[in-house]
Structure 1
């Protein structure tokens, strides 16, 4: 992909589109794992909310149902001023649930993922191109790409985004349990990495995707894909930002972590807020500023319970 250039007519556009799947997290309140706190989650939801909290118009695209859980999702997103007017609705749709349990040491761990309507997704025919006419950034992740309907919708959204010259941002955000096998996951995600202007992944995801055992070896492979802006996050150790010949490491911020779920999404939302408001970083200093701001957001998000 050629280097990203600032497009003058995009400067007049405002807002981010996030495409994905809303998830409700049920987090156990004690080690009996019988009582839960219900919290809104899902990577693409987290980014949509993070963008809105930074004062940027934010639109979320997904399929919602008519039951109480969908009403909960709607209510939470509307509180965050996220626009849902371009979502689709299906009476039989059930929102996906993730159950987080506590072990005897008080540590949280993933227990189960429940999707009672696995074939209900927003379809390509339900996308409205008018939203892409006025927006500035299109963001998506890999969390739904395992399903053919979701992939088709993503392809249509990418086509609209490219036709309207939106910046395209992608988070690899790998959840292996959703995929048939590792090869399908790896090949699919790598194909989408090459369609984005801005890509974020963790160091572990880099090693998985490139089938290497060190960050340096992994970067050697990814650099060949000519991703305009690549960000590799390392948790409390900060992040790498790679653009053309620039390779910058920006240290992280030390905090007392309560729940790291969603920290990467907070990083992405902060990063995309910089791209939205300030444009393409023009030099190493600006790229460093963007990454430092994103590191700070990710660290702060880890100090409270829940992915938001």
Structure 2
């Protein structure tokens, strides 16, 4: 049985601002996170199978992260714990509008130290989709490991999923970030960007223009998330925009990851090549993904907020009633 989605990249602790104590000191709640790990959880909760490849420290945080993924039923056989490095930490403040600001402890973080030689090549080759982000491109050896793993996956007919995730503080410069983030576009079969990343990835601010530019570089399906306005999906057949759902926002952390988990789960279960999935079907995928994200933002944290397939189905049934 092939795994629906195998993801490689960062797994870390999000310390999210959680008010102040009686003495006025800031309190931060410990949440498991990291975009590729979030996607794995999202896929599993939506009825798919997933595996995570990555590295943590051999410390309390790494042990906690591995335990969380294991408890979710995710394959963690290739989640390496390395005593030479510390698990990456991200401190996240959330503004009144639900938007986030990040500060990272990652110099280097364990997630950047995964080598290709430590990766389970059989796990990658026996997946329907191999998913990566862009934070594994910031440092070696993870950068080379990402590229070699993608080449291996493509050689075995595995769909490549790419979700660039721009975090300015993790790059030496915006120019380097743009170069590295754009370098994976030609390898991707299906990819997602946010409306804040259109110019970085394509040189065009308009979401539709950005999607069309990216499609011309190799991907068969491109999605652009538009915040509260929903999302756009594009293929060679054309583009569609699907409105988002109104939702009380507690925390936007993990919304994009849950959205993408929903898209990938549906693509994995379509059992046909991406180029054969028509635009009407992609539009239905997008609606389900928008609903998944709408439920995610209602709760705090990323992984803790990810909904199940049943919860999304009930939400959509109530909307359609």
The TM-score, its normalising length taken from structure 2, stands at 0.86
2:296 aligned with 1:301: yes
Listed one character per residue, the Cα deviations across residues 218-244 of structure 1 (whole Å, up to 9, x for unaligned) are 345334314210001101101111100
Q: What's 1:285 paired with?
A: 280
The separation in 2 between residues aligned to 1:114 and 1:37, in whole angstroms, is 16
Does the residue aligned with 1:194 lie in a helix, a strand or coil? helix
Q: What's 1:168 paired with?
A: 160
- Relative distance call for 1:271 and 1:220 in structure 2 (3 A) is closer
Q: What's 1:85 paired with?
A: 77
Listed one character per residue, the Cα deviations across residues 31-83 of structure 1 (whole Å, up to 9, x for unaligned) are 44532211101101100111111232211011122211111111111111111
Does the residue aligned with 1:170 lie in a helix, a strand or coil? strand
Q: CA deviation at 1:284?
A: 2.1
2:180 aligned with 1:188: yes
Q: What's 1:113 paired with?
A: 104
The separation in 1 between residues aligned to 2:136 and 2:25, in whole angstroms, is 28
2:252 aligned with 1:260: yes
Q: What's 2:87 paired with?
A: 95
2:200 aligned with 1:208: yes
Q: What's 2:310 paired with?
A: none
The separation in 2 between residues aligned to 1:206 and 1:162, in whole angstroms, is 26
2:31 to 32, 39, 50: 39
2:25 aligned with 1:30: no
The separation in 2 between residues aligned to 1:235 and 1:20, in whole angstroms, is 24
Q: CA deviation at 1:187?
A: 1.5
Q: CA deviation at 1:111?
A: 5.2
C-alpha contact (below 8 Å) 1:258/1:302 kept by paired residues: yes
1:49 to 41, 45, 48: 41
C-alpha contact (below 8 Å) 2:198/2:205 kept by paired residues: no
1:247 to 239, 242, 256: 239
- Relative distance call for 1:223 and 1:56 in structure 2 (3 A) is closer
The separation in 1 between residues aligned to 2:201 and 2:277, in whole angstroms, is 29
The separation in 2 between residues aligned to 1:285 and 1:123, in whole angstroms, is 40
2:62 aligned with 1:73: no
The separation in 2 between residues aligned to 1:102 and 1:242, in whole angstroms, is 31
Does the residue aligned with 2:245 lie in a helix, a strand or coil? coil
2:236 aligned with 1:274: no
Instruction: Give me the CA root mean square deviation.
Output: 2.0
Q: CA deviation at 1:109?
A: 4.5
The separation in 2 between residues aligned to 1:20 and 1:40, in whole angstroms, is 14
Where structure 1 has 5 or more consecutive residues not aligned to the other structure, the ranges are: 1-11
C-alpha contact (below 8 Å) 1:63/1:93 kept by paired residues: no
The separation in 1 between residues aligned to 2:155 and 2:141, in whole angstroms, is 21
C-alpha contact (below 8 Å) 2:189/2:218 kept by paired residues: no
C-alpha contact (below 8 Å) 2:100/2:253 kept by paired residues: no
The number of residue pairs the alignment matches comes to 296
Does the residue aligned with 2:135 lie in a helix, a strand or coil? coil
